[in-house]
Chain A
Amino acid sequence: MPEQHTTPQNSSVLVEIKDLRTYFFLAEGVVRAVDGVNLTVNRGVTMGIVGESGCGKSITAYSILRLVSPPGKIVGGDIFFYKVPKDGSSSQAEVINLAKVDPNGETIRNIRGNYISIVFQEPMTAMSPVRTVGQQIMEAIILHQKVDKKTAREMTIDILARVRMSNPERVVDEYPFQLSGGMRQRAVIAMALSCRPQLLIADEPTTALDVTTEAQILKLMRELQEELGMGIMYITHNLGVIAEMAQEVAVMYLGRVVEKTDVKELFFHPLHPYTQALLTSIPQLRDALTRQEKSRLNVIKGMVPDPYARLKGCPFHPRCPVMISGVCDEVEVPEIEAAPGHMVRCHLYTSH
């Protein structure tokens, strides 16, 4: 793999994760939540990260912001963030290795909420119940943009209007409980976008919402991305949402990226048996509405193994329908570029 981070000029690369390992050291053993993840997020592009619960997708995101707290620890790898100054003083990106900075230090605190921000799944728990929506959004603005309260308040109303909140002048003085779920998520997005971040991490932002509200929020995020040109890392388990939001997709299984390609390729030519199984195990509207008899869904046999277990070879081999005995359960799988821009981690595409 070429060492791109030495030549950041004119590069569209925003974040480059290399061989990231985030482990949790518990009394019962070590959980390898993120175990060798390689990912690149480009400017203005949405990278979708899809996987089942426990696959490490959220921990990958938290590692970028250094929000993983003990017993979790980044034990290896690099997270290069290409920080372009916001004041336009230089187009030259400064490279910061987030995996190596002090998690409580000046550097990361200047980045969090400013250059990189996050939208969580549950809008109610992401906000403080005892402070108004306005106070919470203003906090980040005052901290990072060095403006006075009055200006910050105007900027807050402006950003609330931008997330299509009806009546922003009123909402700014309201408490989160006074808003509906969809409106609350808009407020959280407003908070995340208040400092015009270069990377927005969205961790299942619509999972707790109804479909109609979800459709509104997804549309809003696409529009805001166009306006602000930010890169988005969109984490979800919903393949339908991935199809709607992402241009590139990474599929994770047990702490690793097992397949990574552009969205069309993933849906029309999935290579990894896990991706293929995921795609056939979701109920498809077309199949449901065109069949004569009630059909059964394809299932992935077995279940996600015990998190403390460390499997030899490919971690998917106990559940894989095309497992090659003696290879998949023995030999470690490298990342293979099966087609241009299409990475897969599976022995079917190696010469063993």
Chain B
Amino acid sequence: MTDQVQTAEPLLEVVDLKKFFPIRRGYFKRVVGHVKAVDNLSFYIMEGETLGLVGESGCGKTTAGRSILRAINPTSGSVFFRDPHLGRVDVAQLDDEKLRVVRRSMRMIFQDPYASLNPRMTLLDIVGAPLRAMNIAHGSELEDRVAEMLRRVGLRPEYMRRYPHAFSGGQRQRIGLARALAPNPKFVVCDEPVSALDVSVQAQILNLLQDLQEDLGLTYLFVAHDLSVVAHISDRVAVMYVGKMVEMAETRELYTNPMHPYTEALMSAIPLPDPRPRQKRVLLTGEVASPANPPSGCYFHPRCSYAVDLCRTREPELEEVKPGHFVKCHRARELSLTGVSEILARQ
């Protein structure tokens, strides 16, 4: 079923997504508990938009990206996607045949450009693989398409017969991008695409991602831990902590007016390329809670300096505190937290 109301309906809508990994013990591999890697994640992304997904390592941001694409099967929840061929579908419920169709339009690029390319395949094989697997192009048509993709990402089509070892980290990331974009997708999950790159190369890839987004009308879920990079590329940003989303807002709003204490701590930890001292810094103490054995109430309460009794006993709901600004904190309305406004005021 296709809905013609294009503007109001999001391209992707994630509803109560869960991914639990069982912990097995003993001779009979009895399930003794679960690692709740992603727990009740809900958000939407509009067409042409970039949603940044941030959080510390182990918070479930990569698992979220993979569950959305069905690279791993989510435990429960729905992923509604407006597919150009199938219309609005729940990716979480699709059978294999339909999943193959959807995978033309939902793609992924990876963090490590060395691990994500098969060293025994030429660029033609690598970039052509999705086209071949999805029966999109064959023979000389396939070569033409690969050449066009390589040109799009700033590589020479003559390189088609070479192997990945002949390329630098930045070039390899371009190859990975060409492979993702070959079947002409709508939506791309970018999992830490620049964190393994040098600063000057990082700038090239970020610009390329933005150019391609404009030219091809792409929608990105941009998973990263570098908050400056996320601010640069994202329209909206979602913050995760121990498998749950704790805050989501438009980029500028989130950075200047954070309403969750965890977001405030993240903002304050950003190393800024400015040697002048910062006025107020909130440094987190303690360790990230274990998703296998999370604390009671709000998962963040053991590290939160604003925690009250309620935080220890009851888990807060994710609420829309202001239009478009979602926060999962009991005290969101009463606290006045520090964002990065101080930096904006500087000359």
Contact = CB atoms under 8 A, between A and B. Distances in A.
Interface string B228-243: 1101110000000000
A267 B273 contact: yes
Contact of B227 (A52, A180, A211, A264): A211
B344 A289 contact: yes
A170 interface: no
A303 B170 contact: yes
Nearest to A240: B271
19 contacts: A52-B198, A180-B287, A182-B287, A183-B287, A210-B57, A211-B271, A212-B265, A216-B285, A218-B271, A240-B271, A281-B199, A285-B255, A286-B344, A288-B228, A297-B203, A297-B206, A299-B200, A299-B204, A303-B170
Given A214-B271, A216-B285, 17 more contacts: A183-B287, A210-B56, A210-B225, A212-B56, A212-B283, A218-B271, A243-B271, A267-B274, A267-B275, A279-B273, A283-B232, A285-B227, A286-B346, A288-B232, A288-B251, A289-B256, A299-B200
B335 interface: no
B284 interface: yes
B345 to A, nearest CB: 9
A284 B344 contact: no
Contacts of B268: 215
Interface residues of B, number: 48
Nearest to B195: A207
A290 B59 CA distance: 29
Contacts of A284: 228, 232, 273
B73 interface: no
B116 interface: no
Nearest to A236: B271
- The dominant DSSP class at the A interface is helix
Interface string A188-202: 000000000000000
B274 A243 contact: yes
Given A264-B275, A296-B210, A285 B251 contact: no
B193 to A, nearest CB: 13
A216 B233 CA distance: 27
Contacts of A298: 203
A94 to B, nearest CB: 34
Interface in B262-306: 265-266, 268-276, 281, 283-285, 287-288
